[in-house]
Amino acid sequence: MELFREQGYERTTASEIAARAEVTERTFFRYFPDKREVLFEEDPRLQPALEAAIAEAPEALSPLEVMRLALGSIEKLLEENRPFTEPRLAVIAASPALWERAEAKSASLVQLLAKGLRQRGVDERLALLAARTGIAAFGHAAQSWFEDPSPGLEVRLDQAFCALRELAGRKKG
Protein backbone atom coordinates (compact mmCIF):
# COMPACT_ATOMS: atom_id res chain seq x y z
CA MET A 1 0.00 0.00 0.00
CA GLU A 2 2.88 2.42 0.71
CA LEU A 3 4.32 1.88 -2.74
CA PHE A 4 0.96 2.02 -4.44
CA ARG A 5 0.12 5.31 -2.82
CA GLU A 6 3.53 6.79 -3.58
CA GLN A 7 3.73 5.86 -7.25
CA GLY A 8 0.49 4.14 -8.23
CA TYR A 9 -0.23 0.50 -8.95
CA GLU A 10 1.00 0.25 -12.52
CA ARG A 11 4.24 2.08 -11.83
CA THR A 12 5.05 -0.32 -9.00
CA THR A 13 6.75 -3.56 -9.97
CA ALA A 14 6.35 -6.88 -8.24
CA SER A 15 10.06 -6.74 -7.62
CA GLU A 16 9.72 -3.49 -5.67
CA ILE A 17 6.92 -4.90 -3.56
CA ALA A 18 8.99 -7.95 -2.78
CA ALA A 19 11.98 -5.82 -1.82
CA ARG A 20 9.87 -3.64 0.48
CA ALA A 21 8.51 -6.78 2.13
CA GLU A 22 12.03 -8.14 2.41
CA VAL A 23 11.38 -11.30 0.43
CA THR A 24 12.44 -12.32 -3.05
CA GLU A 25 10.24 -11.72 -6.06
CA ARG A 26 9.69 -15.46 -6.36
CA THR A 27 8.46 -15.65 -2.78
CA PHE A 28 6.02 -12.87 -3.53
CA PHE A 29 4.56 -14.96 -6.33
CA ARG A 30 4.34 -17.94 -4.01
CA TYR A 31 2.07 -15.96 -1.71
CA PHE A 32 0.05 -14.31 -4.45
CA PRO A 33 -0.82 -16.01 -7.74
CA ASP A 34 -0.49 -12.69 -9.52
CA LYS A 35 0.34 -9.09 -8.77
CA ARG A 36 -3.26 -7.94 -8.55
CA GLU A 37 -4.17 -10.38 -5.85
CA VAL A 38 -2.19 -8.47 -3.20
CA LEU A 39 -5.03 -6.00 -3.17
CA PHE A 40 -7.80 -8.56 -2.91
CA GLU A 41 -6.91 -10.72 0.04
CA GLU A 42 -10.15 -11.06 1.91
CA ASP A 43 -11.01 -11.90 5.48
CA PRO A 44 -11.03 -15.72 5.66
CA ARG A 45 -14.13 -15.60 7.85
CA LEU A 46 -16.20 -13.90 5.18
CA GLN A 47 -17.12 -16.81 2.92
CA PRO A 48 -17.84 -19.28 5.71
CA ALA A 49 -20.00 -16.65 7.41
CA LEU A 50 -22.08 -16.20 4.29
CA GLU A 51 -22.38 -19.91 3.67
CA ALA A 52 -23.47 -20.52 7.24
CA ALA A 53 -25.97 -17.68 7.20
CA ILE A 54 -27.58 -19.05 4.06
CA ALA A 55 -27.64 -22.63 5.30
CA GLU A 56 -29.12 -21.66 8.64
CA ALA A 57 -31.74 -19.24 7.41
CA PRO A 58 -35.33 -20.14 8.28
CA GLU A 59 -37.02 -22.44 5.77
CA ALA A 60 -39.89 -20.03 5.23
CA LEU A 61 -37.77 -17.23 3.76
CA SER A 62 -37.84 -16.50 0.05
CA PRO A 63 -34.52 -16.65 -1.82
CA LEU A 64 -34.17 -12.89 -1.79
CA GLU A 65 -34.94 -12.69 1.89
CA VAL A 66 -32.19 -15.22 2.45
CA MET A 67 -29.83 -12.94 0.56
CA ARG A 68 -30.88 -9.99 2.68
CA LEU A 69 -30.27 -11.99 5.85
CA ALA A 70 -26.91 -13.38 4.77
CA LEU A 71 -25.54 -10.05 3.58
CA GLY A 72 -26.71 -8.37 6.76
CA SER A 73 -24.93 -10.97 8.85
CA ILE A 74 -21.47 -9.83 7.74
CA GLU A 75 -21.84 -6.27 8.93
CA LYS A 76 -19.46 -6.67 11.89
CA LEU A 77 -16.83 -8.31 9.70
CA LEU A 78 -17.00 -5.53 7.16
CA GLU A 79 -16.91 -2.93 9.91
CA GLU A 80 -13.74 -4.53 11.27
CA ASN A 81 -12.11 -4.53 7.86
CA ARG A 82 -13.14 -1.06 6.90
CA PRO A 83 -9.78 0.58 7.79
CA PHE A 84 -8.06 -1.73 5.29
CA THR A 85 -10.80 -1.72 2.70
CA GLU A 86 -11.11 2.00 2.29
CA PRO A 87 -7.56 2.79 1.11
CA ARG A 88 -7.62 -0.27 -1.12
CA LEU A 89 -10.70 0.94 -2.93
CA ALA A 90 -8.94 4.17 -3.82
CA VAL A 91 -6.06 2.27 -5.43
CA ILE A 92 -8.41 -0.13 -7.20
CA ALA A 93 -10.49 2.68 -8.64
CA ALA A 94 -7.39 4.18 -10.24
CA SER A 95 -6.46 1.11 -12.30
CA PRO A 96 -8.57 -0.62 -14.98
CA ALA A 97 -6.75 -3.89 -14.40
CA LEU A 98 -7.72 -3.79 -10.74
CA TRP A 99 -11.26 -2.75 -11.47
CA GLU A 100 -11.51 -5.80 -13.69
CA ARG A 101 -10.30 -8.07 -10.93
CA ALA A 102 -12.76 -6.46 -8.51
CA GLU A 103 -15.63 -7.28 -10.86
CA ALA A 104 -14.42 -10.85 -11.09
CA LYS A 105 -14.37 -11.09 -7.30
CA SER A 106 -17.89 -9.79 -7.12
CA ALA A 107 -18.94 -12.39 -9.69
CA SER A 108 -17.32 -15.12 -7.59
CA LEU A 109 -19.31 -13.92 -4.62
CA VAL A 110 -22.47 -14.22 -6.67
CA GLN A 111 -21.54 -17.81 -7.47
CA LEU A 112 -21.02 -18.52 -3.78
CA LEU A 113 -24.40 -17.10 -2.85
CA ALA A 114 -26.14 -18.94 -5.68
CA LYS A 115 -24.56 -22.19 -4.57
CA GLY A 116 -25.88 -21.65 -1.08
CA LEU A 117 -29.37 -21.10 -2.42
CA ARG A 118 -29.18 -24.20 -4.61
CA GLN A 119 -28.29 -26.23 -1.55
CA ARG A 120 -31.53 -25.02 -0.04
CA GLY A 121 -33.32 -26.50 -3.02
CA VAL A 122 -33.73 -23.35 -5.05
CA ASP A 123 -33.77 -23.93 -8.80
CA GLU A 124 -30.38 -23.31 -10.40
CA ARG A 125 -31.35 -20.42 -12.60
CA LEU A 126 -33.53 -18.76 -10.02
CA ALA A 127 -30.69 -19.04 -7.51
CA LEU A 128 -28.41 -17.16 -9.85
CA LEU A 129 -31.04 -14.49 -10.44
CA ALA A 130 -31.62 -14.05 -6.71
CA ALA A 131 -27.89 -13.96 -5.97
CA ARG A 132 -27.23 -11.34 -8.64
CA THR A 133 -30.16 -9.28 -7.47
CA GLY A 134 -29.01 -9.61 -3.88
CA ILE A 135 -25.54 -8.37 -4.77
CA ALA A 136 -27.06 -5.49 -6.70
CA ALA A 137 -28.95 -4.47 -3.58
CA PHE A 138 -25.84 -4.97 -1.48
CA GLY A 139 -23.89 -2.65 -3.77
CA HIS A 140 -26.58 -0.03 -3.31
CA ALA A 141 -26.42 -0.45 0.46
CA ALA A 142 -22.64 -0.63 0.75
CA GLN A 143 -22.12 2.51 -1.25
CA SER A 144 -24.23 4.68 1.00
CA TRP A 145 -22.82 2.91 4.03
CA PHE A 146 -19.28 3.78 3.03
CA GLU A 147 -20.15 7.41 2.57
CA ASP A 148 -21.80 7.60 5.96
CA PRO A 149 -21.47 4.63 8.31
CA SER A 150 -23.63 6.00 11.09
CA PRO A 151 -26.85 4.17 10.23
CA GLY A 152 -25.71 0.57 10.18
CA LEU A 153 -25.42 -1.63 7.13
CA GLU A 154 -28.61 -3.45 8.14
CA VAL A 155 -30.62 -0.26 7.81
CA ARG A 156 -29.05 0.44 4.43
CA LEU A 157 -29.84 -3.06 3.27
CA ASP A 158 -33.45 -2.65 4.25
CA GLN A 159 -33.58 0.56 2.26
CA ALA A 160 -31.94 -1.13 -0.72
CA PHE A 161 -34.31 -4.09 -0.75
CA CYS A 162 -37.18 -1.71 -0.30
CA ALA A 163 -36.02 0.28 -3.33
CA LEU A 164 -35.74 -2.97 -5.21
CA ARG A 165 -39.27 -3.95 -4.34
CA GLU A 166 -40.52 -0.61 -5.57
CA LEU A 167 -38.57 -0.94 -8.79
CA ALA A 168 -39.88 -4.40 -9.50
CA GLY A 169 -43.35 -3.96 -8.18
CA ARG A 170 -44.91 -0.86 -9.59
CA LYS A 171 -46.16 -1.10 -13.12
CA LYS A 172 -45.80 2.62 -13.78
CA GLY A 173 -43.12 5.24 -13.02
Partner DNA sequence: GTCTATAGGACGATAGAC
Partner DNA sequence: GTCTATCGTCCTATAGAC
Residue 35 contacts which entry, its own copies, DNA, none (Cβ below 5-8 A, type-dependent): DNA
Q: How far apart are CA 31 and CA 9, in angstroms?
A: 18
Spell 48-57 as b/e; 16+ CB within 10 A means b. Answer: ebbbebbeeb
Nearest distance in Å: CB 115, its own copies: 16
Nearer to DNA, 26 or 170 (CB): 26
Q: Which does 4 bind (CB under 5 to 8 A by kind): its own copies, DNA, none?
A: none
Q: Are 67 and 130 in contact (CB under 8 A)?
A: yes
| Beta carbon nearer to its own copies, 26 or 171 | 171
Using rule CB under 7 A, residue 31 touches DNA: yes
- CB 61 to its own copies: min, Å: 5
**Residue ranges that bind DNA, judged by CB under 7 A:** 12-15, 22-27, 29-31, 33-36
